[in-house]
Chain A
Amino acid sequence: RKEVEQDPGPFNVPEGATVAFNCTYSNSASQSFFWYRQDCRKEPKLLMSVYSSGNEDGRFTAQLNRASQYISLLIRDSKLSDSATYLCVTQGRGNNRLAFGKGNQVVVIP
């Protein structure tokens, strides 16, 4: 089983709408979870960490469900500039390693 699984999409979202997507992880011992953003032909950049209690950063909300081993990202009031691939990242097996998902591609449509 892959360490992190994501539905690659694309998720086509009208501007101003809300979009949400999940990723599942297999390492039940993982304590750390993150979302990265990767623009087309660019490097990934950390978007936000995901805390057990959930957390919000502006229009972005991240949630963790340990029982079902998934994390989610919700984007409210989508902007054209939100078009990107969102990578789900967890603590990998072995020390000091992160496991990356393939990414959820979001396309915000005017």
Chain B
Amino acid sequence: DADVTQTPRNRITKTGKRIMLECSQTKGHDRMYWYRQDPGLGLRLIYYSFDVKDINKGEISDGYSVSRQAQAKFSLSLESAIPNQTALYFCATSDVDISNTGELFFGEGSRLTVL
């Protein structure tokens, strides 16, 4: 089983719907992140959390919210999905300051399509 698990892996939805992407990890890491990847744009950070109840905005947080319910769980919500939120979303974890180690452990990704 993967150490970082994302659900759902694929989702097609309509504009205006609320969507939640869930992430759980068994690595015991305190730090969790949500990224989105778009063709030609690379990975961009949406939100990150260093501990339960710690939430920080990333580069592109508008239109998204997150919840860190437990050390092992970090969920991403789109309150009212729009087509330009169509992307591949990755959850990631790290155990220490990634500026030094650079090592993020990614989930397998959640492909979201908003029609």
- Residues of chain A within 8 A (CB-CB) of B108 are 42-43
Residues of A near B109 (CB, < 8 A) are 41-43
Instruction: Select one of B31, B41, B43, B102 contacting A32, CB under 8 A.
Output: B102
* Chain A interface, number of residues (Cβ within 8 angstroms): 25
- Interface status of B83 (Cβ within 8 A of chain A): no
Q: Which residue of A lies closest to B106 (CB)?
A: A43
Interface on A for B, CB 8 Å cutoff?
Answer: 4, 8, 31-34, 41-46, 49, 87, 89, 91-92, 95-98, 100-103
B104 touches A (CB below 8 Å): yes
Cβ-Cβ contact count across A and B, 8 Å cutoff: 56
Given known contacts A32-B102, A43-B108, A46-B102, is B43 in contact with A87 (CB within 8 Å)? yes
Contact indicator B102/A31 (Cβ below 8 Å) = no
A32-B42 in contact (CB<8A): no
**Is there an interface contact between B42 and A49, defined as CB atoms closer than 8 Å?**
no
